[in-house]
Structure 1
Protein backbone atom coordinates (compact mmCIF):
# COMPACT_ATOMS: atom_id res chain seq x y z
CA UNK A 1 0.00 0.00 0.00
CA UNK A 2 1.40 3.38 -0.98
CA UNK A 3 2.31 5.80 1.86
CA UNK A 4 0.60 8.99 0.75
CA UNK A 5 2.48 11.10 3.34
CA UNK A 6 5.98 9.84 2.61
CA UNK A 7 8.74 9.26 5.15
CA UNK A 8 8.75 10.86 8.60
CA UNK A 9 10.52 14.21 8.19
CA UNK A 10 11.71 14.12 11.79
CA UNK A 11 13.67 10.88 11.36
CA UNK A 12 17.43 11.08 10.67
CA UNK A 13 19.77 14.01 11.32
CA UNK A 14 17.30 16.65 10.19
CA UNK A 15 19.10 19.41 12.11
CA UNK A 16 22.44 18.88 10.32
CA UNK A 17 23.84 22.03 8.64
CA UNK A 18 23.75 22.21 4.87
CA UNK A 19 27.49 21.53 4.63
CA UNK A 20 27.36 18.71 7.14
CA UNK A 21 28.50 18.51 10.74
CA UNK A 22 31.99 19.71 11.67
CA UNK A 23 34.69 17.08 12.00
CA UNK A 24 37.66 17.40 14.35
CA UNK A 25 40.96 17.97 12.53
CA UNK A 26 44.40 18.51 14.03
CA UNK A 27 45.90 21.90 13.17
CA UNK A 28 49.01 20.47 11.54
CA UNK A 29 51.55 22.90 10.11
CA UNK A 30 50.73 23.58 6.46
CA UNK A 31 47.03 22.69 6.70
CA UNK A 32 45.04 25.25 4.65
CA UNK A 33 41.72 26.33 6.19
CA UNK A 34 39.30 29.25 6.00
CA UNK A 35 37.87 31.19 8.93
CA UNK A 36 34.08 31.26 8.48
CA UNK A 37 33.48 34.65 10.13
CA UNK A 38 36.13 36.67 8.28
CA UNK A 39 36.77 34.62 5.16
CA UNK A 40 40.50 34.61 5.95
CA UNK A 41 42.15 31.68 4.22
CA UNK A 42 45.64 30.53 5.07
CA UNK A 43 48.00 27.76 6.06
CA UNK A 44 48.61 26.84 9.70
CA UNK A 45 52.05 28.08 10.76
CA UNK A 46 51.82 27.49 14.50
CA UNK A 47 49.53 26.89 17.47
CA UNK A 48 50.29 28.56 20.79
CA UNK A 49 48.74 29.62 24.08
CA UNK A 50 47.91 33.33 24.35
CA UNK A 51 45.73 35.11 26.88
CA UNK A 52 44.65 31.85 28.49
CA UNK A 53 43.45 30.31 25.22
CA UNK A 54 44.94 28.40 22.32
CA UNK A 55 45.43 30.35 19.13
CA UNK A 56 46.07 29.06 15.61
CA UNK A 57 48.04 31.34 13.28
CA UNK A 58 47.18 31.26 9.57
CA UNK A 59 49.44 32.63 6.84
CA UNK A 60 47.70 33.79 3.65
CA UNK A 61 49.16 33.64 0.15
CA UNK A 62 50.70 37.11 0.57
CA UNK A 63 52.66 35.99 3.62
CA UNK A 64 50.52 37.86 6.16
CA UNK A 65 49.80 35.97 9.38
CA UNK A 66 46.67 36.30 11.52
CA UNK A 67 45.62 34.49 14.70
CA UNK A 68 42.25 32.87 15.46
CA UNK A 69 40.90 30.99 18.49
CA UNK A 70 41.52 27.28 18.09
CA UNK A 71 38.28 25.29 17.80
CA UNK A 72 35.14 25.50 15.62
CA UNK A 73 34.47 28.04 12.88
CA UNK A 74 36.76 26.84 10.08
CA UNK A 75 36.26 25.30 6.66
CA UNK A 76 38.53 22.66 5.17
CA UNK A 77 37.93 22.22 1.43
CA UNK A 78 34.45 23.67 1.96
CA UNK A 79 33.51 21.39 4.85
CA UNK A 80 33.23 22.63 8.46
CA UNK A 81 35.94 21.49 10.86
CA UNK A 82 36.89 21.95 14.49
CA UNK A 83 40.62 22.57 14.72
CA UNK A 84 42.33 20.81 17.61
CA UNK A 85 45.85 21.03 18.99
CA UNK A 86 48.37 19.12 16.81
CA UNK A 87 49.09 16.16 19.07
CA UNK A 88 51.18 14.43 16.39
CA UNK A 89 53.51 17.43 16.20
CA UNK A 90 53.70 17.56 19.98
CA UNK A 91 54.62 13.89 20.09
CA UNK A 92 57.33 14.51 17.52
CA UNK A 93 58.65 17.46 19.54
CA UNK A 94 58.71 15.40 22.72
CA UNK A 95 60.49 12.58 20.90
CA UNK A 96 63.04 15.04 19.53
CA UNK A 97 63.60 16.47 23.01
CA UNK A 98 64.14 12.97 24.43
CA UNK A 99 66.56 12.18 21.63
CA UNK A 100 68.48 15.39 22.32
CA UNK A 101 68.62 14.50 26.02
CA UNK A 102 70.40 11.28 25.12
CA UNK A 103 73.24 13.32 23.62
CA UNK A 104 75.87 15.42 25.35
CA UNK A 105 76.71 18.96 24.21
CA UNK A 106 79.50 17.46 22.09
CA UNK A 107 77.04 15.20 20.26
CA UNK A 108 78.18 11.99 21.96
CA UNK A 109 75.76 9.42 23.37
CA UNK A 110 75.19 10.28 27.03
CA UNK A 111 76.35 7.66 29.53
CA UNK A 112 74.03 7.40 32.55
CA UNK A 113 74.53 5.65 35.84
CA UNK A 114 78.27 5.25 35.50
CA UNK A 115 80.16 5.58 38.81
CA UNK A 116 82.74 8.35 39.22
CA UNK A 117 85.99 7.47 37.53
CA UNK A 118 89.44 8.16 38.93
CA UNK A 119 91.30 10.65 36.75
CA UNK A 120 93.76 9.11 34.33
CA UNK A 121 97.34 10.28 34.14
CA UNK A 122 96.76 11.92 30.76
CA UNK A 123 95.95 15.61 30.55
CA UNK A 124 94.69 18.25 28.14
CA UNK A 125 96.18 21.71 28.54
CA UNK A 126 94.51 24.89 27.36
CA UNK A 127 95.88 28.43 27.44
CA UNK A 128 93.47 30.15 29.80
CA UNK A 129 90.31 30.15 31.87
CA UNK A 130 87.99 30.98 28.98
CA UNK A 131 89.36 28.08 26.91
CA UNK A 132 88.89 25.74 29.86
CA UNK A 133 85.31 26.89 30.49
CA UNK A 134 84.36 26.44 26.84
CA UNK A 135 85.87 22.95 26.69
CA UNK A 136 84.09 22.04 29.93
CA UNK A 137 80.72 23.26 28.66
CA UNK A 138 80.85 21.29 25.40
CA UNK A 139 83.06 18.28 26.20
CA UNK A 140 82.87 18.09 30.00
CA UNK A 141 80.56 15.06 30.10
CA UNK A 142 82.78 13.12 27.71
CA UNK A 143 85.97 13.98 29.58
CA UNK A 144 84.51 12.90 32.93
CA UNK A 145 83.54 9.54 31.44
CA UNK A 146 87.10 9.12 30.17
CA UNK A 147 88.68 10.43 33.39
CA UNK A 148 90.63 13.16 31.59
CA UNK A 149 91.38 16.42 33.39
CA UNK A 150 91.68 19.77 31.59
CA UNK A 151 94.26 22.14 33.06
CA UNK A 152 95.08 25.80 32.36
CA UNK A 153 98.51 26.85 31.17
CA UNK A 154 98.12 30.63 31.48
CA UNK A 155 100.09 31.11 28.27
CA UNK A 156 102.46 29.02 26.17
CA UNK A 157 105.70 31.04 26.36
CA UNK A 158 107.46 28.22 28.25
CA UNK A 159 105.54 25.33 26.68
CA UNK A 160 108.64 23.18 26.06
CA UNK A 161 109.70 23.51 29.70
CA UNK A 162 106.22 22.68 30.96
CA UNK A 163 106.16 19.53 28.81
CA UNK A 164 109.55 18.42 30.18
CA UNK A 165 108.28 18.85 33.73
CA UNK A 166 105.13 16.85 32.93
CA UNK A 167 107.26 14.09 31.33
CA UNK A 168 104.58 12.43 29.16
CA UNK A 169 104.72 8.71 28.43
CA UNK A 170 102.74 6.26 26.32
CA UNK A 171 100.43 5.68 29.31
CA UNK A 172 100.39 9.33 30.41
CA UNK A 173 99.85 11.37 27.31
CA UNK A 174 99.50 15.11 26.92
CA UNK A 175 97.34 17.14 24.56
CA UNK A 176 97.73 20.91 24.20
CA UNK A 177 95.30 23.39 22.66
CA UNK A 178 96.94 26.62 21.49
CA UNK A 179 95.26 29.90 20.51
CA UNK A 180 96.16 31.69 17.25
CA UNK A 181 98.22 28.82 15.87
CA UNK A 182 98.91 29.99 12.32
CA UNK A 183 102.12 29.88 10.25
CA UNK A 184 104.65 32.63 10.92
CA UNK A 185 103.37 33.58 14.36
CA UNK A 186 105.16 33.46 17.71
CA UNK A 187 102.84 30.61 18.69
CA UNK A 188 103.87 28.51 15.68
CA UNK A 189 107.56 28.84 16.60
CA UNK A 190 106.88 27.93 20.23
CA UNK A 191 104.89 24.86 19.17
CA UNK A 192 107.57 23.74 16.69
CA UNK A 193 110.14 23.67 19.50
CA UNK A 194 107.81 22.07 22.02
CA UNK A 195 106.83 19.20 19.71
CA UNK A 196 110.45 17.99 19.75
CA UNK A 197 110.36 17.36 23.50
CA UNK A 198 108.29 14.15 23.42
CA UNK A 199 106.49 11.86 20.98
CA UNK A 200 103.74 11.43 23.56
CA UNK A 201 102.48 14.99 23.27
CA UNK A 202 100.18 16.38 20.59
CA UNK A 203 99.83 20.12 20.12
CA UNK A 204 96.95 21.48 18.07
CA UNK A 205 95.24 24.83 17.86
CA UNK A 206 92.88 27.15 16.11
CA UNK A 207 93.55 30.24 13.99
CA UNK A 208 91.59 32.70 16.13
CA UNK A 209 93.20 35.53 18.11
CA UNK A 210 91.18 34.37 21.11
CA UNK A 211 88.92 31.42 21.85
CA UNK A 212 85.99 33.86 21.85
CA UNK A 213 86.17 33.84 18.05
CA UNK A 214 85.58 30.09 17.95
CA UNK A 215 81.96 30.80 18.90
CA UNK A 216 79.97 31.35 15.72
CA UNK A 217 79.14 35.08 15.48
CA UNK A 218 75.55 34.29 14.55
CA UNK A 219 74.99 33.17 18.15
CA UNK A 220 75.44 36.83 19.12
CA UNK A 221 73.45 38.20 16.21
CA UNK A 222 76.60 39.13 14.24
CA UNK A 223 77.60 38.54 10.65
CA UNK A 224 81.24 38.29 11.73
CA UNK A 225 83.45 39.12 14.68
CA UNK A 226 84.67 42.75 14.79
CA UNK A 227 88.15 43.43 13.43
CA UNK A 228 90.33 45.06 16.11
CA UNK A 229 93.38 47.04 15.07
CA UNK A 230 96.85 46.01 16.27
CA UNK A 231 98.01 47.58 19.51
CA UNK A 232 94.53 47.56 21.01
CA UNK A 233 93.37 44.98 23.57
CA UNK A 234 91.40 42.52 21.46
CA UNK A 235 88.85 41.58 24.12
CA UNK A 236 88.26 45.15 25.26
CA UNK A 237 87.99 46.22 21.64
CA UNK A 238 85.44 43.53 20.82
CA UNK A 239 83.31 44.47 23.81
CA UNK A 240 83.42 48.13 22.75
CA UNK A 241 82.38 47.24 19.19
CA UNK A 242 79.50 45.19 20.56
CA UNK A 243 78.36 48.12 22.66
CA UNK A 244 78.95 46.24 25.91
CA UNK A 245 80.80 47.56 29.01
CA UNK A 246 84.52 47.31 28.22
CA UNK A 247 86.66 49.36 30.58
CA UNK A 248 87.64 46.83 33.25
CA UNK A 249 88.61 43.21 33.68
CA UNK A 250 85.22 42.66 35.31
CA UNK A 251 83.62 43.85 32.07
CA UNK A 252 85.70 41.28 30.18
CA UNK A 253 84.60 38.52 32.55
CA UNK A 254 80.94 39.48 32.24
CA UNK A 255 81.26 39.76 28.45
CA UNK A 256 82.71 36.26 28.23
CA UNK A 257 79.94 34.95 30.48
CA UNK A 258 77.38 36.32 28.04
CA UNK A 259 79.22 34.79 25.05
CA UNK A 260 79.60 31.42 26.78
CA UNK A 261 75.90 31.36 27.67
CA UNK A 262 75.07 31.58 23.95
CA UNK A 263 76.81 28.23 23.32
CA UNK A 264 74.33 25.35 23.47
CA UNK A 265 76.33 22.56 21.85
CA UNK A 266 79.18 21.78 19.48
CA UNK A 267 77.09 23.11 16.57
CA UNK A 268 77.60 26.65 17.90
CA UNK A 269 81.39 26.40 17.52
CA UNK A 270 83.61 26.79 14.47
CA UNK A 271 84.74 23.50 12.84
CA UNK A 272 88.44 24.30 13.30
CA UNK A 273 88.16 24.27 17.08
CA UNK A 274 85.93 21.20 17.05
CA UNK A 275 88.41 19.20 15.00
CA UNK A 276 91.34 20.13 17.26
CA UNK A 277 89.61 19.34 20.55
CA UNK A 278 88.16 16.05 19.27
CA UNK A 279 91.58 14.95 18.03
CA UNK A 280 93.22 15.83 21.34
CA UNK A 281 90.59 13.85 23.26
CA UNK A 282 91.19 10.86 20.99
CA UNK A 283 94.96 11.17 21.42
CA UNK A 284 94.87 11.09 25.23
CA UNK A 285 92.15 8.42 25.54
CA UNK A 286 92.58 5.90 22.72
CA UNK A 287 95.20 3.24 23.56
Structure 2
Protein backbone atom coordinates (compact mmCIF):
# COMPACT_ATOMS: atom_id res chain seq x y z
CA UNK A 1 0.00 0.00 0.00
CA UNK A 2 1.40 3.33 -1.05
CA UNK A 3 1.54 5.89 1.74
CA UNK A 4 0.75 9.53 0.88
CA UNK A 5 3.83 11.63 0.55
CA UNK A 6 4.26 14.34 3.17
CA UNK A 7 5.09 17.75 1.88
CA UNK A 8 8.10 19.45 3.37
CA UNK A 9 7.15 22.48 5.43
CA UNK A 10 7.85 25.94 4.09
CA UNK A 11 11.18 27.28 5.28
CA UNK A 12 10.86 29.76 8.18
CA UNK A 13 11.83 33.27 7.11
CA UNK A 14 13.60 34.47 10.22
CA UNK A 15 14.51 37.74 8.53
CA UNK A 16 10.98 38.58 7.41
CA UNK A 17 8.85 41.39 8.88
CA UNK A 18 7.59 40.79 12.39
CA UNK A 19 4.30 41.94 13.79
CA UNK A 20 4.90 44.57 16.40
CA UNK A 21 2.93 44.34 19.62
CA UNK A 22 0.25 47.00 19.94
CA UNK A 23 1.23 49.93 22.11
CA UNK A 24 -1.08 52.09 24.21
CA UNK A 25 -0.70 55.60 25.63
CA UNK A 26 0.18 55.68 29.32
CA UNK A 27 -1.75 57.58 31.95
CA UNK A 28 -0.84 58.17 35.58
CA UNK A 29 -3.38 56.60 37.89
CA UNK A 30 -4.68 58.54 40.88
CA UNK A 31 -7.26 57.84 43.59
CA UNK A 32 -10.76 58.81 42.55
CA UNK A 33 -10.08 58.43 38.81
CA UNK A 34 -13.01 56.72 37.09
CA UNK A 35 -11.92 53.99 34.64
CA UNK A 36 -13.30 50.90 32.93
CA UNK A 37 -11.40 47.62 33.14
CA UNK A 38 -11.64 46.22 29.61
CA UNK A 39 -11.27 42.48 30.34
CA UNK A 40 -13.97 42.40 33.04
CA UNK A 41 -16.16 45.34 32.00
CA UNK A 42 -16.06 46.74 35.55
CA UNK A 43 -16.33 50.53 35.74
CA UNK A 44 -15.49 52.32 38.96
CA UNK A 45 -13.42 54.84 40.85
CA UNK A 46 -9.87 53.92 41.82
CA UNK A 47 -9.74 53.24 45.56
CA UNK A 48 -6.27 51.80 46.11
CA UNK A 49 -3.22 50.33 44.39
CA UNK A 50 -1.13 47.35 45.49
CA UNK A 51 1.07 44.60 44.04
CA UNK A 52 0.49 45.37 40.35
CA UNK A 53 -3.28 45.67 40.74
CA UNK A 54 -5.80 48.27 41.71
CA UNK A 55 -9.16 48.27 43.44
CA UNK A 56 -12.15 49.81 41.66
CA UNK A 57 -15.31 50.73 43.56
CA UNK A 58 -18.39 50.60 41.33
CA UNK A 59 -21.47 52.79 41.64
CA UNK A 60 -23.10 50.22 43.95
CA UNK A 61 -20.20 50.51 46.42
CA UNK A 62 -18.71 47.10 45.57
CA UNK A 63 -14.92 46.77 45.34
CA UNK A 64 -13.22 44.88 42.51
CA UNK A 65 -9.51 43.99 42.43
CA UNK A 66 -8.23 44.08 38.84
CA UNK A 67 -4.79 43.60 37.29
CA UNK A 68 -2.87 46.48 35.73
CA UNK A 69 -1.84 45.29 32.27
CA UNK A 70 -0.94 47.13 29.05
CA UNK A 71 -4.05 48.62 27.45
CA UNK A 72 -6.32 47.08 30.09
CA UNK A 73 -8.34 50.22 30.86
CA UNK A 74 -10.62 52.67 29.09
CA UNK A 75 -10.46 56.35 30.06
CA UNK A 76 -12.74 58.74 28.16
CA UNK A 77 -13.42 55.93 25.71
CA UNK A 78 -9.79 55.20 24.73
CA UNK A 79 -7.64 52.26 25.78
CA UNK A 80 -4.69 53.21 27.95
CA UNK A 81 -2.03 51.66 30.14
CA UNK A 82 -2.31 52.94 33.69
CA UNK A 83 0.97 53.56 35.46
CA UNK A 84 1.90 54.60 38.97
CA UNK A 85 3.78 57.86 38.74
CA UNK A 86 7.00 57.80 40.71
CA UNK A 87 8.15 61.12 42.06
CA UNK A 88 11.68 62.19 41.25
CA UNK A 89 14.00 62.38 44.29
CA UNK A 90 13.92 66.17 44.24
CA UNK A 91 10.13 66.14 44.42
CA UNK A 92 9.75 63.81 47.40
CA UNK A 93 9.36 66.69 49.83
CA UNK A 94 7.04 68.69 47.56
CA UNK A 95 3.89 69.88 49.28
CA UNK A 96 0.59 68.48 48.09
CA UNK A 97 -2.88 69.96 48.16
CA UNK A 98 -5.81 68.38 50.00
CA UNK A 99 -6.86 66.80 46.70
CA UNK A 100 -3.50 65.04 46.31
CA UNK A 101 -2.11 67.37 43.62
CA UNK A 102 1.40 68.82 43.80
CA UNK A 103 1.11 72.29 45.33
CA UNK A 104 2.36 75.16 43.17
CA UNK A 105 4.15 77.53 45.54
CA UNK A 106 3.37 81.21 45.07
CA UNK A 107 1.14 80.67 42.05
CA UNK A 108 -1.52 83.39 41.74
CA UNK A 109 -5.16 82.45 41.25
CA UNK A 110 -6.07 82.31 37.60
CA UNK A 111 -8.67 84.69 36.19
CA UNK A 112 -11.98 82.86 36.32
CA UNK A 113 -12.91 80.80 33.29
CA UNK A 114 -16.26 81.12 31.61
CA UNK A 115 -16.86 77.46 32.49
CA UNK A 116 -18.45 76.65 35.85
CA UNK A 117 -19.17 73.80 38.24
CA UNK A 118 -22.57 73.78 39.92
CA UNK A 119 -23.30 71.92 43.16
CA UNK A 120 -26.61 71.44 44.94
CA UNK A 121 -26.12 73.38 48.16
CA UNK A 122 -23.86 75.20 50.60
CA UNK A 123 -22.50 72.03 52.22
CA UNK A 124 -21.48 70.59 48.85
CA UNK A 125 -19.77 73.88 47.96
CA UNK A 126 -17.90 74.08 51.28
CA UNK A 127 -16.67 70.48 51.04
CA UNK A 128 -15.49 70.91 47.44
CA UNK A 129 -13.71 74.13 48.40
CA UNK A 130 -11.97 72.52 51.36
CA UNK A 131 -10.56 69.59 49.36
CA UNK A 132 -10.19 71.03 45.85
CA UNK A 133 -10.02 74.79 46.51
CA UNK A 134 -6.30 75.15 45.68
CA UNK A 135 -6.72 73.26 42.40
CA UNK A 136 -9.80 75.27 41.43
CA UNK A 137 -8.03 78.59 41.98
CA UNK A 138 -5.02 77.48 39.93
CA UNK A 139 -7.37 76.39 37.13
CA UNK A 140 -9.64 79.42 37.41
CA UNK A 141 -12.78 77.34 38.03
CA UNK A 142 -15.65 78.87 40.00
CA UNK A 143 -18.05 76.65 41.96
CA UNK A 144 -21.60 77.96 42.28
CA UNK A 145 -24.67 76.71 44.12
CA UNK A 146 -27.80 75.40 42.46
CA UNK A 147 -29.78 75.58 45.71
CA UNK A 148 -31.83 72.70 44.41
CA UNK A 149 -31.98 70.87 41.10
CA UNK A 150 -35.72 70.72 40.41
CA UNK A 151 -35.40 72.86 37.27
CA UNK A 152 -31.97 71.87 36.04
CA UNK A 153 -32.85 72.32 32.36
CA UNK A 154 -33.79 75.97 32.97
CA UNK A 155 -30.45 76.52 34.72
CA UNK A 156 -28.60 75.01 31.77
CA UNK A 157 -30.48 77.14 29.26
CA UNK A 158 -29.82 80.30 31.27
CA UNK A 159 -26.11 79.49 31.50
CA UNK A 160 -25.82 79.05 27.74
CA UNK A 161 -23.11 76.36 27.44
CA UNK A 162 -20.93 76.28 24.34
CA UNK A 163 -17.31 75.45 23.45
CA UNK A 164 -15.08 77.33 25.90
CA UNK A 165 -18.04 77.82 28.26
CA UNK A 166 -18.65 74.39 29.70
CA UNK A 167 -20.90 73.49 32.58
CA UNK A 168 -20.32 70.70 35.10
CA UNK A 169 -23.06 69.71 37.54
CA UNK A 170 -22.56 67.65 40.72
CA UNK A 171 -25.72 65.97 42.06
CA UNK A 172 -26.43 64.07 45.26
CA UNK A 173 -28.25 60.71 45.15
CA UNK A 174 -27.52 60.05 41.47
CA UNK A 175 -28.89 56.50 41.34
CA UNK A 176 -31.16 54.71 38.84
CA UNK A 177 -34.80 55.74 39.18
CA UNK A 178 -34.14 58.84 41.30
CA UNK A 179 -35.38 62.31 40.36
CA UNK A 180 -31.73 63.35 40.16
CA UNK A 181 -31.05 60.66 37.56
CA UNK A 182 -34.11 61.73 35.55
CA UNK A 183 -32.93 65.34 35.62
CA UNK A 184 -29.44 64.29 34.52
CA UNK A 185 -30.83 62.16 31.68
CA UNK A 186 -32.86 65.14 30.41
CA UNK A 187 -29.71 67.20 29.84
CA UNK A 188 -28.22 66.35 26.46
CA UNK A 189 -25.55 68.86 25.49
CA UNK A 190 -21.92 68.27 24.46
CA UNK A 191 -20.68 71.08 26.70
CA UNK A 192 -22.56 69.96 29.82
CA UNK A 193 -21.57 67.08 32.09
CA UNK A 194 -23.92 66.00 34.89
CA UNK A 195 -22.46 63.52 37.33
CA UNK A 196 -22.61 62.84 41.03
CA UNK A 197 -22.50 60.31 43.84
CA UNK A 198 -25.01 57.74 45.15
CA UNK A 199 -25.41 59.18 48.66
CA UNK A 200 -28.62 60.82 49.90
CA UNK A 201 -26.62 63.86 51.00
CA UNK A 202 -23.01 64.95 50.66
CA UNK A 203 -22.61 64.28 54.41
CA UNK A 204 -22.65 60.56 53.60
CA UNK A 205 -19.72 61.03 51.21
CA UNK A 206 -17.52 61.69 54.25
CA UNK A 207 -16.19 58.42 55.66
CA UNK A 208 -17.98 57.66 58.97
CA UNK A 209 -14.74 56.90 60.82
CA UNK A 210 -13.48 60.41 60.02
CA UNK A 211 -16.46 61.88 61.87
CA UNK A 212 -16.05 59.43 64.76
CA UNK A 213 -19.13 57.28 64.09
CA UNK A 214 -19.46 53.63 63.06
CA UNK A 215 -21.86 54.29 60.20
CA UNK A 216 -24.32 56.83 58.89
CA UNK A 217 -27.73 55.93 60.37
CA UNK A 218 -30.67 54.87 58.22
CA UNK A 219 -33.37 57.52 58.02
CA UNK A 220 -36.85 56.48 56.77
CA UNK A 221 -38.03 57.99 53.52
CA UNK A 222 -40.20 61.03 54.14
CA UNK A 223 -38.19 62.22 57.16
CA UNK A 224 -35.79 65.14 56.67
CA UNK A 225 -32.52 63.24 56.33
CA UNK A 226 -30.15 65.62 58.15
CA UNK A 227 -32.57 66.12 61.05
CA UNK A 228 -33.04 62.36 61.28
CA UNK A 229 -29.29 61.75 61.32
CA UNK A 230 -28.74 64.25 64.11
CA UNK A 231 -31.56 62.80 66.21
CA UNK A 232 -30.26 59.26 65.88
CA UNK A 233 -26.69 60.29 66.66
CA UNK A 234 -27.71 62.65 69.45
CA UNK A 235 -25.54 65.47 68.10
CA UNK A 236 -27.81 68.51 68.18
CA UNK A 237 -28.80 70.56 65.16
CA UNK A 238 -27.59 70.00 61.57
CA UNK A 239 -25.75 73.31 61.34
CA UNK A 240 -23.58 72.53 64.37
CA UNK A 241 -22.94 68.95 63.31
CA UNK A 242 -21.95 70.06 59.81
CA UNK A 243 -19.18 72.21 61.28
CA UNK A 244 -17.89 69.08 63.02
CA UNK A 245 -18.07 67.05 59.79
CA UNK A 246 -16.31 69.70 57.70
CA UNK A 247 -13.67 70.23 60.38
CA UNK A 248 -12.88 66.50 60.36
CA UNK A 249 -12.04 66.46 56.65
CA UNK A 250 -8.43 67.23 55.75
CA UNK A 251 -7.98 65.60 52.33
CA UNK A 252 -9.60 63.46 49.64
CA UNK A 253 -8.65 60.38 51.68
CA UNK A 254 -11.42 61.30 54.12
CA UNK A 255 -14.06 61.07 51.38
CA UNK A 256 -15.74 58.15 49.67
CA UNK A 257 -14.36 57.29 46.22
CA UNK A 258 -17.56 58.03 44.21
CA UNK A 259 -17.53 61.69 45.31
CA UNK A 260 -13.78 62.03 44.67
CA UNK A 261 -14.16 60.52 41.22
CA UNK A 262 -17.13 62.71 40.33
CA UNK A 263 -15.44 65.98 41.31
CA UNK A 264 -12.18 65.06 39.54
CA UNK A 265 -14.18 64.19 36.43
CA UNK A 266 -15.96 67.56 36.49
CA UNK A 267 -12.72 69.51 36.94
CA UNK A 268 -11.17 67.65 34.00
CA UNK A 269 -14.27 68.34 31.89
CA UNK A 270 -14.55 72.09 32.47
CA UNK A 271 -10.79 72.67 32.10
CA UNK A 272 -10.40 70.63 28.89
CA UNK A 273 -9.26 72.62 25.88
CA UNK A 274 -12.12 73.45 23.53
Do they fold alike, i.e. is TM over 0.5? yes
Number of corresponding residues: 182
Match of 1:151 in 2: 144
In structure 2, distance between residues paired with 1:116 and 1:188: 34
Q: Calculate the TM-score normalised by the size of structure 2.
A: 0.65
Match of 2:260 in 1: 274
Q: Secondary structure at the match of 1:255?
A: helix
Deviation, structure 1 residue 255: 1.0
Which runs of structure 2 are paired with 1:94-105 in the superposition (5 Å)?
99=93, 102-105=95-98
Deviations 1:164-213 (A, max 9, x none): 1101111011100001000011111111112x2x2100000100000000
Deviation, structure 1 residue 243: 1.1
In structure 2, distance between residues paired with 1:188 and 1:115: 38
Q: Secondary structure at the match of 2:193?
A: strand
Selected match of 1:187 from 140, 162, 180 = 180
Q: Secondary structure at the match of 1:124?
A: strand
In structure 1, distance between residues paired with 2:108 and 2:200: 39
Unaligned runs of 5+ in 1: 1-97, 246-250
Deviations 1:136-173 (A, max 9, x none): 00000000000000000001111011101101111011
Selected match of 1:110 from 94, 103, 109 = 103
Deviation, structure 1 residue 221: 2.2
Selected match of 2:114 from 121, 133, 140 = 121
Match of 1:258 in 2: 244
In structure 2, distance between residues paired with 1:112 and 1:281: 21
Greater relative contact order structure (CA < 8 Å, 6+ sep) = 2
Q: Secondary structure at the match of 1:282?
A: helix
Match of 1:206 in 2: 197
Match of 2:79 in 1: none
Selected match of 2:222 from 231, 242, 266 = 231
Q: Calculate the TM-score normalised by the size of structure 1.
A: 0.62
Deviations 1:217-248 (A, max 9, x none): 01122222100111211101111111111xxx
Match of 1:285 in 2: 271
In structure 2, distance between residues paired with 1:281 and 1:209: 22
Residue 218 of structure 1 pairs with residue 209 of structure 2 = yes
Residue 241 of structure 1 pairs with residue 232 of structure 2 = yes
Task: Report if the CA contact (8 A) 2:119-2:169 is conserved.
Answer: yes
Q: Secondary structure at the match of 1:279?
A: helix
In structure 2, distance between residues paired with 1:193 and 1:134: 27
Q: CA RMSD in A?
A: 1.2
Which runs of structure 2 are paired with 1:7-22 in the superposition (5 Å)?
none
- Select the structure of larger CA radius of gyration: 1
Q: Secondary structure at the match of 1:191?
A: helix
